[in-house]
């Protein structure tokens, strides 16, 4: 699960990580009051969306008067922000963070993530923070400091001090860095985080270390024990279809291709998508209807697939282990009766009662192509949706 920058920063403050003062607003009306509350004469208006690269997408606007702040708010509110990390549609801007402007001396990068390769929590740090950190990582990877922490061990003050040294932070700034890194680590452990990031972590003219941005991703599997985190969820930033699917216990992810897939089991779904690609097609989605699926769930899955604009054909691939293929066939027929069928469809059934299932589909009045062999099914749907 993702959260907004303002929410990440509120967690930061709870763990003694310093941030600039800021006020969250949800309409331009509140802009001048927010500026007055913050004081000063430079403010930064920041779009709150679940994507990075906001600076590059025009979602971070530096303002030198209240009028400029109001203009920025009017421009951003109600629009969608497109950044290098979103799709072409972008994400809706419903909230803006007005932050007091900072005089930046240095922009650093600091993040923690689960590194599956080393099986450790890994700290990433760099003197080259800011909007081009991805470029730094690919073009000059030696400028990224990596430090692994044993998941059964702990992060020590000495570890922090050695990283501060590599970032050329001394004295007061080094002390602030230790507090910041220990705070990040504490959040990471206690909140079951998979990625936490400050980019940029700035040093200011006043010799302070501040988190100017904040990003946190949580492990969905652990959300059941973090009510406070679940409360921060903002579904306006999520894919509508994917949410609707998860309400029906369907594992659904939209993709760019043209062949809708309905499969039971995540591994089989992956193999099915690979086979479609192998035969020259491209999958429009990943969909796992689960092991013990019902007719209602099959119908919902159909509806989701058929209403995707880019879908030109549907491949159903069911391996009847726990479920019986004749029941699946009945489910498919019920679904087609309910939501209609306006696309070519190929159904491959294998396993328990597969012959009975295929017969049911063949005898129906609908134009459903059946196959017992997966490769043949993939070849057929690629041809039918070309």
Residues lying near Mn ion in the complex (CB under 5 A) = 199, 213
d(CA 151, CA 244): 36
109 is catalytic: yes
Q: 109 vs 218, which CB is nearer to Mn ion?
A: 109
- What is the smallest separation between the CB atom of 213 and Mn ion, expressed in angstroms? 4
Strands 120-126 and 104-115: antiparallel
Q: Does 90 bind ligand GDP (CB under 6 A)?
A: no
Q: Which tokens in the block code for residue 238?
A: 């999520």
Per CB under 6 A, the list member of 38, 104, 144, 270 interacting with ligand GDP is 104
Please give the order of strands across the beta sheet that includes 313-320. Answer: 251-254, 285-288, 259-263, 313-320, 345-351, 368-371
Q: 283 vs 164, 255, 384, CA distance in Å?
A: 47, 7, 14
Residue closest to Mn ion (Cβ): 213
Q: Does 196 bind ligand GDP (CB under 6 A)?
A: no
**Piece of 11-19, 53-61, 298-306, 373-381 that binds ligand GDP (CB under 6 A):** 53-61
Name the active-site residue from 5, 6, 107, 109: 109
Query: Where do we find the tokens 């932070």?
Result: 169
- What is the smallest separation between the CB atom of 198 and ligand GDP, expressed in angstroms? 9
d(CA 159, CA 142): 19
Q: Does 38 bind ligand GDP (CB under 6 A)?
A: no
130: Cα within 13 Å, side-chain hemisphere: 10
d(CA 197, CA 143): 17
**Count of residues near ligand GDP by CB under 6 A:** 19
Q: Does 86 bind ligand GDP (CB under 6 A)?
A: no
197 is catalytic: yes
Question: What are the residue numbers of the active site?
Answer: 109, 197
Residues that bind ligand GDP (CB under 6 A): 44, 46, 52-55, 60, 62, 99, 101-102, 104, 107, 130-131, 199-200, 212-213
């Amino acid at each position: 699960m993702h959260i907004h920058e303002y929410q990440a920063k509120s967690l930061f403050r709870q763990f003694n990580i310093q941030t600039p003062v800021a006020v969250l607003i949800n309409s331009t009306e509140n802009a001048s009051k927010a500026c007055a509350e913050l004081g000063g004469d430079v403010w930064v208006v920041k779009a709150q969306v679940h994507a990075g690269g906001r600076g590059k997408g025009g979602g971070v606007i530096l303002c030198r008067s209240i009028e400029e702040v109001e203009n920025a708010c009017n421009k951003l509110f109600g629009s969608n922000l497109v950044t290098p990390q979103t799709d072409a549609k972008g994400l809706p801007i419903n909230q803006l963070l007005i932050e007091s402007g900072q005089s930046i001396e240095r922009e650093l990068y600091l993040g923690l993530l689960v590194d599956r390769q080393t099986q450790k929590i890994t700290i990433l740090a760099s003197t080259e923070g800011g909007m081009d950190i991805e470029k730094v990582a690919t073009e000059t990877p030696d400028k990224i400091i990596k430090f692994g922490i044993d998941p059964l061990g702990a992060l020590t003050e000495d570890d922090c001090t050695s990283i501060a040294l590599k970032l050329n932070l001394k004295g007061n700034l080094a002390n602030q860095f230790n507090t910041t890194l220990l705070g990040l680590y504490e959040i990471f452990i206690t909140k079951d985080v998979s990625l936490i990031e400050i980019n940029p972590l700035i040093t200011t003219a006043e010799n302070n270390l501040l988190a100017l941005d904040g990003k946190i991703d949580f492990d969905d599997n652990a959300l059941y024990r973090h009510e406070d985190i679940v409360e921060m969820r903002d579904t306006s930033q999520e894919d509508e279809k994917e949410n609707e699917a998860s309400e029906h216990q369907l594992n659904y992810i939209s993709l760019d291709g043209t062949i809708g897939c309905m499969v039971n089991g995540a591994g089989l779904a992956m193999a099915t998508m690979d086979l479609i690609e192998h035969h020259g097609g491209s999958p429009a989605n990943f969909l796992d209807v689960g092991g013990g699926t019902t007719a209602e769930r099959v119908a919902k899955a159909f509806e989701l697939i058929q209403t995707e604009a880019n879908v030109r054909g549907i491949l159903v691939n069911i391996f009847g282990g726990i479920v019986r293929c004749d029941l699946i066939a009945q489910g498919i027929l019920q679904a087609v009766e309910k939501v209609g069928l306006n696309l070519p469809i190929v159904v491959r059934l294998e396993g328990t009662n597969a012959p009975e299932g295929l017969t049911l589909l063949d005898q129906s009045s609908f134009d459903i192509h059946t196959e017992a062999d997966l490769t043949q099914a993939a070849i057929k749907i690629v041809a039918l949706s070309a």
